[in-house]
Structure 1
Amino acid sequence: MRIDGTYIRRDELDAQQLLDELSGVYERGWQPADVLHVTARSGDTTDVPLAAAAVLFDAQHTRALHRAPTDWVHQLRAIAARHPHLTRITDRDVAFGAGLRRALPTVSRFQVDGVAFTWKYLPAFTRLTAPPSQWPPIRATPDGTAPTTPDRRVLDRIRGLLTKAESTDFPDEAEALTAKAQELMTRYAVGAALLADTGVSSDPVRGRRLHLDSPYAKEKVLLLTAIGDANRVRTVWFTRVQIATIVGTVVDLQQVEMLFTSLLVQATRAMGATDTAGRRGGGATSFRRAFLTGFAHRIGERLREADVRATADAAADARIPVTDLAPILARRSESVDVEFRRLFPTTRSSRSRGIDADGFHAGRDAAESASLAAGQEPLGR
């Protein structure tokens, strides 16, 4: 093929088509991690490295690490970490088609066309951040604001507690460790709210997407929603693409995502260790769905109980009455609700369906050991 007097190889033209479609889906509200998730669901698993190659090559040529919103940058770094062999494709002086052949020598023209086709027909998605066409030449501050950045030391302490809770074989120990993690989360969130209310710093409301996989994706969303509700975070679920969006302040989003990851590990382990009472096939599947539903319900109850206790402790630490703290937290929740309604004005509540009663109660019982209990000593700040 000849364009403007220059011969262009067919594989390079196909590769450029992939980059063009990627730019289009970005402008329609999709982000790098979303693109890889939907590619994995729509095609073969071998399409994921091809999609990652396009994402990383595009990021290099658009200088995304220096211009994109911080959530976007975090996604790019995570993708690069999962696909280290694709760093060879990001040389700005190498055409994408040539770099693609070098990094993924077995990729076919059929694959390139197939992934490009998938991206071409992705519908508009809610914009959570500015698309590439609206990025500044250089990012002055994260997302154009100066939000409160979660304290790395606090996050590391929470993560350490949750990691221990995941790894222990003793339910009482897992319960105590998770209780301490939730208490620390609440105390830190209250502190951030007080600082934001006095104008010392800001903790703006944002949206963040989590990509869930089968089996039991809907039940996993119930767990995410229960955790979010206890921590002033709203959740919406897109069934067709199996993507959940959580809306909350920067601090709360980070902490909810960490707690969800840990409790999902604990729930999955507990479910695997629970006898399905002789059920097989579809009966066993129904039991496990009910198990995760019961687990999520009980987790939500205990997290809310722990939040009330830890909030009272945080007010005492700050030497202010709980009655003075309550309006501050209410304003924080209202700002989350306002942003949620702006992003998703037409959501509807999910309807419950009939579930296996034995599985539901088995899940609630398991949540007693995986979540929170009264009487735990508060964790010092």
Structure 2
Amino acid sequence: MGTVNTVEKALAAALYAEGDASLDAAASLLAADPGADAELRRRGEELLRRAWERGWQPADVARLVRRDLGEVHHRLLAELVAAESAHYGPRLPHRWEAQLRDLAGEVPPQRGDRFGRATAVLELYRLLARLPRIEAVAPPPGAGPRAAPAPGREGTGREPRMLTRVRALLAKAEATGYPQEAEALTAKAQELMARHSIDEAVLAQGAPAAHTPSARRIGVDAPYETAKAVLLDVVSSANRCKAVWNGPFGFSTVVGFEGDLEAVELLYTSLLVQGTRAMTAAESAQRAGGRKRTRTFRQSFWTAYASRIGEHLAAVAEEAVPGELLPVLATRDLAVADRTRRMFPETRTARVRSATDAAGWRDGTSAADRAHRASPGRPLPGRRA
């Protein structure tokens, strides 16, 4: 009973009070009572379960902890999530295994002194206790039988051959130092994704109603997160998905069919890498010309990059769709729009900061042109060569 009282007093003092004084007092209580460690861990697992019930997933919490706290807290979270998840066995939601594997790669936290560790634990628990309810993209773990993944995806041990090829193409595009090669590789990847999306739409025509849109959250990290959210939005639209940005928590929820969601995440990540590399090269040229790097240059670069990528992808999307498939794709678009409205009955438009640096806008536009300049390819399914 004594250890329970110690933890009760510490949590009551630390979780809901502001300031460091209450946190220090609570950490001192825990540091002086080693017998309270097991109960403290149990309370942490309970806080995690409440977070899952409020719509959060491991990757969401990990992203927030790394942003708002630090690496020590992130490693503590990985340790806690591993212990809490062990209770569910196979009853984990779709895609949780990959998130848990990512966290499992974390180095265990340094033990250090008991006071320092107790302080970090309480700071982590304070963040967990204050997480609000967000839109769920999957049932919480243990809520029922594990949802069956789409055929050919998670659960089979293999990803679709198309995604393997796209992943390889984008990896090469990110690694090459030759802009023209990156252009061709990225264009080919987009072509494969468009063809695959159309193939899936044809195969799904007349399929059971269970084949419905799902959702996943994708991190949108600072700095220049508004422009990056726009980039994710235009990539989502081009792949027949819808993205809703949550700025305060640093992610967008993307709604669509599974194959399209995978394509969105792959392409968005690759375009971020290519854009960052292009911006670094542009800044080097600016410095060589005697101009210092500036925040306005980078903001203008990312704004132009996202805007221009959107223009290119919209054109590619329109070109890719055979006329006879428009009714099929329209039905899928309506399903995605309906799921988005049900998940987010109230949304508002975010304002994008204007670009004020002409050089940044020019270089961002040029980088987008290089990343997505059209290249000849084979005719899409249903189109005549």
Q: How far is 1:205 from its partner?
A: 0.8
Q: Secondary structure at the match of 1:111?
A: helix
| CA distance in structure 1 between the aligned counterparts of 2:3 and 2:186, rounded to whole angstroms | 62
Shift of 1:379: 7.6
Q: Does 1:119 align with 2:128?
A: yes
Does 1:46 find its partner at 2:55? no
Alignment of 1:191-270 (within 5 A): 191-199=199-207, 203-270=211-278
Which residue does 2:351 correspond to in 1?
A: 351
Task: Report the identity percentage.
Answer: 38
User: 1:318: which partner in 2?
Assistant: none
Q: Unaligned regions of 5+ residues in structure 2, if any?
A: 5-32
Unaligned runs of 5+ in 1: 87-102, 313-321
1:306 alignment counterpart = 316
Contact 1:247 1:340 survives alignment (8 Å):
yes
Q: Which residue of 1 aligns with 2:111?
A: 105
For 1:347 and 1:279, locate their aligned partners in 2 and report how far apart those are by CA, in whole Å.
41
Is the aligned partner of 1:128 residue 2:154? no
Q: Quick one: which of 66, 86, 98 aligns to 1:74?
A: 98
Quick check: 1:25–1:122 contact (8 Å CA) kept in 2? Answer: yes
Q: Displacement of 1:104 after TM fit?
A: 4.7
CA contact (8 A) 1:148 1:203 kept: no
CA RMSD in angstroms, aligned pairs only: 2.4
Give SS of 1:70's match: coil
The separation in 2 between residues aligned to 1:199 and 1:148, in whole angstroms, is 16
Alpha-carbon distance in 2 for matches of 1:130, 1:272: 41
- Provide TM-score, normalisation by structure 1: 0.83
Q: CA offset at residue 201 of structure 1?
A: 9.3
Shift of 1:164: 1.3
Distance change >3 Å, CA 123–CA 278, structure 1 → 2: farther
Residue in 1 aligned with 2:370? 369
Greater CA deviation, 258-267 or 112-121?
112-121
Residue matched to 2:36:
10
Worse-matched range after superposition: 147-156 or 162-171 = 147-156
CA–CA distance in structure 2, aligned partners of residues 247 and 278 of structure 1: 45
Question: Aligned residue for 2:23?
Answer: none
Q: How many residues align?
A: 341
Deviation by residue 1:125-178 (Cα, 9 ceiling, x = unmatched): 111111135233xx3733xxx566385211111111111111222222111111
| 8 A contact 1:196–1:202 mirrored in 2 | no
Output the amino acid matched with 2:153.
T
TM normalised by structure 2 equals 0.82
Q: Which amino acid aligns with 1:32?
A: P
Once the two structures are superposed, the pairs formed by residues 334-345 of structure 1 within 5 Å of their partners are: 334-345=334-345
Shift of 1:105: 2.6
SS in 2 for 1:209: strand
- Relative contact order higher in (CA < 8 Å, ≥ 6 apart): 1
Q: Distance in 2 between matches of 1:48 and 1:336?
A: 34
Name the CA distance, whole Å, in 2 between partners of 1:61 and 1:251: 30
* Alignment check: 8 A CA contact 2:92 2:142 kept: no
CA contact (8 A) 2:191 2:377 kept: no
